[in-house]
Each structure stands twice: as C-alpha cells, then as structure tokens.
Amino acid sequence: MTNQSQAPVLPRLGISVACWRGDQVLLVERGRPPLEGLWSLPGGHVEPGEPIRDAALRELAEETGVDADLLGLVDAHDVIRRDEDGTLRAHYVLVVFAARYRAGVASAADDARAVQWARPETIEALATTDGLADVVARSRCLLDGS
C-alpha cells in the first residue's frame, strides 16, 4: 500500500567527471551514505539554474581541488535505488563528462573520504560504484580522440 501523502520520487540530475592526467583517471572514495566507502568519479548535484558543464567543473574542484578542461560527454547513467519490496527510493540521472587535468593538487574535500589517480586496469580491484570501469574506458576514448 502506498502512502498518498508521500511525494513521488522524481529523478534528480547529477554530474560526474572522468578527469585524466596522462594515463591515470582521478577517483574519489565516497565518504557519505548511500555510497560510503565506494570509489567513483568526482561529481555531485546540479544546482537549479546551473549549466551542467559549469556544475561538472565546480563539483570536480569542490571535491578534489582539481581544475580541468572538459572534452565531451561520455554517457548519461541512471542510478535507481529501491527497497527490498520494490518501492522506489531514489532516482538519479548522472551526466558523465571526460576531462583533461589542468591544475591543482588532488585532495579529498567536500564529501570525498580519499582521492587517487588510478590506471584503468587497477579499477577492477577496488570496491566501486556500478559501471565505473566501463564508463572510465569509454571516457578514455574521448581523451584519445582529442
């Protein structure tokens, strides 16, 4: 039975950035639930009225202290969370960008617990968010083509 007074779950827009420095991509370990302890790309929410490219660069800088040049769009990725009974709890649409490192010393800030520059072949050994290795591989194609 659904609680009619409960607002419907609407998709929320977020961004993430596969930022490359040479042959390494910047990863963050999430410091807060629901993804606490998992490695993923830096990113976060798009603020109302904020262009997504601006949000991508802002979130990258806020979370890691790194500045970059965006190269292009990699993917739009759905993150859908349901309870055991199938009730929809959250739906995020993440717009994923590829970027090339420009400046800054990577350090954990905002909601990141840790950061690391990682080679793609090492990602499989980490506890990661769903699909991370695949999106990193596809972002590398944009880097190689630029």
Domain ranges within the chain, ordered by starting residue: 12-145
Q: What is the pLDDT of residue 146?
A: 58
Q: Supply the pLDDT for residue 5.
A: 57
φ, ψ dihedrals at 51, nearest 5°: -60, 145
Q: What is the pLDDT along the chain (146 residues), one digit of tens a residue?
A: 445 557 888 999 999 999 999 999 999 999 887 788 999 999 999 999 999 999 999 999 999 999 999 999 999 988 888 999 999 988 999 999 999 999 999 999 878 899 999 999 999 999 998 889 999 999 998 877 65
What pLDDT does residue 4 have? Answer: 52
Q: What is the CATH number of domain 12-145?
A: 3.90.79.10
